[in-house]
Chains A and B, each alone.
Chain A
């Protein structure tokens, strides 16, 4: 039998109570595994000490790839591979290539970023997420604390959670 992971699961009803609780609990030296919410709570990522996502960089790089690809495709096709005079302009005149270059940029940037997001968040259609409490998509904020990763005793953490406004504290093992 594989080793079981044991968690304490704190349930919070209100996002403002949750935010303060996260700060206080972390100050007390308790390590929080993750918090699950039905909607984005602003400031929660800072409270948990998460770094800012680097997805904008991915979006920018994909966008630049799109710009380059779009521009060079057009210049190569109409300028070198099969040059044609259209409307008496140069073979490869840049202004009429701008719209398609723009579309390439947006397309690659959007798809590249969303693809990166799905990969880094490990999201795929055939995956069931680990659910600490089924109500976390409905109306409860669920705080998971890995007992294996904390030196503080279970009873002490339980007390800290209750003191900070958790409406329930449950145990859960996976």
Chain B
């Protein structure tokens, strides 16, 4: 018999049985979309269309449509890129690192978090792709393919190229990790469709499940694959934002050229990723009535991760400032004083308030177990993390070495348009996922029902 500590928190409330799990989660896939779903999808689709128009104008006329200038050559595009990649860190962190640490609370949230990761990485990748100007040549320029430039190859010494490999590997490995998790759950929906007599749905979900049979032998192999994928994804997830930070850290621009960047970026990525997971899941659990699967306890644990990573980010901000002073390089000192007191002071202080001060509120148990407070703070954290990237990128660039080149950056409607475009992609994709795919990993939750549901506990 399995021994369970009485101290272990209940992960699934409401006295659920294994059959209830199948029913509660599959029901969302089988039913017609609700009016609320259509409204949300409508809004996301309008954003997508508006953004598509802006992107079309951008492709037709070139990236001069953006507000970039000679001094500030990177602004919203790379800010949004780093912001989305950062958000894309939570999913694989939850499913890979928490799997290795045997954290069972990940089981109700990993599916949605991984889906979010995949969509966020797609959004992120669109920015460097558009920044290349000629989108259709992007693959040709970024991948080591035989080409017509003599046989001049891509520059493997450049962190920008490392980024291409890191992001595409991260995307593909996260995708198969996520899909592997979905396979047994697709089979659940297939078999329910067979029972209901819906042949079309049964064949679609059978194809999606690759003819899953649930045999002990298959499960044994499946668990081995999941464990190794987790082992591979753990260094991968840490490498991605490390490499993104090297885009900046290997340059010689004051404010970028620092060795603290990799850990600082990774902590920031997890921080923003968990905030976005909370934003999405708090809405998803309400809309799909999953309060018994995603409980206050789950929310509280995620908020604790936010306190930790938020504090690491805060310490990194202060360390950067200290090192700038202590290093005695005037250009570096100026870059930091300018961040806090120069023309972009409002961005800097927005970042400090949202990222350093606001997550500290979660030390209070009442706040971190309050859903409304969590929802509001999760959005504040994401605003703060956007400002962090904006501060790092734009304030470091806008004061060039020659004062005659000093300038400001003003976004145009095309900067804003492409940002909205990625929101359109992200929410459309997430809503489609939430409608057609099971939002909670049924097989994993079923495996812990016996040891963690309230009813069984009461019996013991």
Contact = CB atoms under 8 A, between A and B. Distances in A.
Interface residues of B, number: 69
Nearest to B150: A82
A125 B211 contact: yes
Interface in B425-454: 442-444, 446-447, 450
Interface of A: 14-16, 34-41, 44-45, 48, 50, 52-53, 55-56, 59, 63, 73-74, 77-78, 81-82, 84, 86-87, 89, 93, 96-97, 99-100, 102-104, 106-107, 109-111, 113-114, 117-118, 120-121, 123-131, 134-139
Contacts of B18: 38-39, 138-139
Contacts of B221: 53, 55, 117, 120-121
Contact of B239 (A52, A53, A102): A102
Given A15-B450, A86-B157, A125 B219 contact: no
Contacts of B207: 125-126
Given A99-B166, A126-B211, A137-B191, 10 more contacts: A34-B216, A37-B216, A38-B188, A53-B221, A63-B232, A77-B153, A89-B157, A99-B159, A103-B162, A128-B211
Nearest to A121: B218
B2 interface: yes
Given A15-B450, A74-B156, A125-B208, A111 B19 contact: no
The B interface, classified by DSSP as helix, strand, loop or mixed, is helix
A16 B166 CA distance: 43
B443 to A, nearest CB: 5
A124 B210 contact: yes
Centre residue among A40, A48, A137 by max chain B CB count within 10 A: A137
Contacts of B152: 82, 84
Contacts, number: 198
Given A36-B216, A139-B18, A56 B153 contact: no
Contact of A82 (B151, B168, B194): B151
Contact of B214 (A36, A110, A124, A128): A36
B405 interface: no
B215 A45 contact: no
Given A82-B153, A107-B169, A134-B194, A139 B22 contact: yes
Contact of A100 (B151, B156, B177, B214): B156
A103 B144 contact: no
B446 A39 contact: yes
Centre residue among B159, B177, B192, B216 by max chain A CB count within 10 A: B216
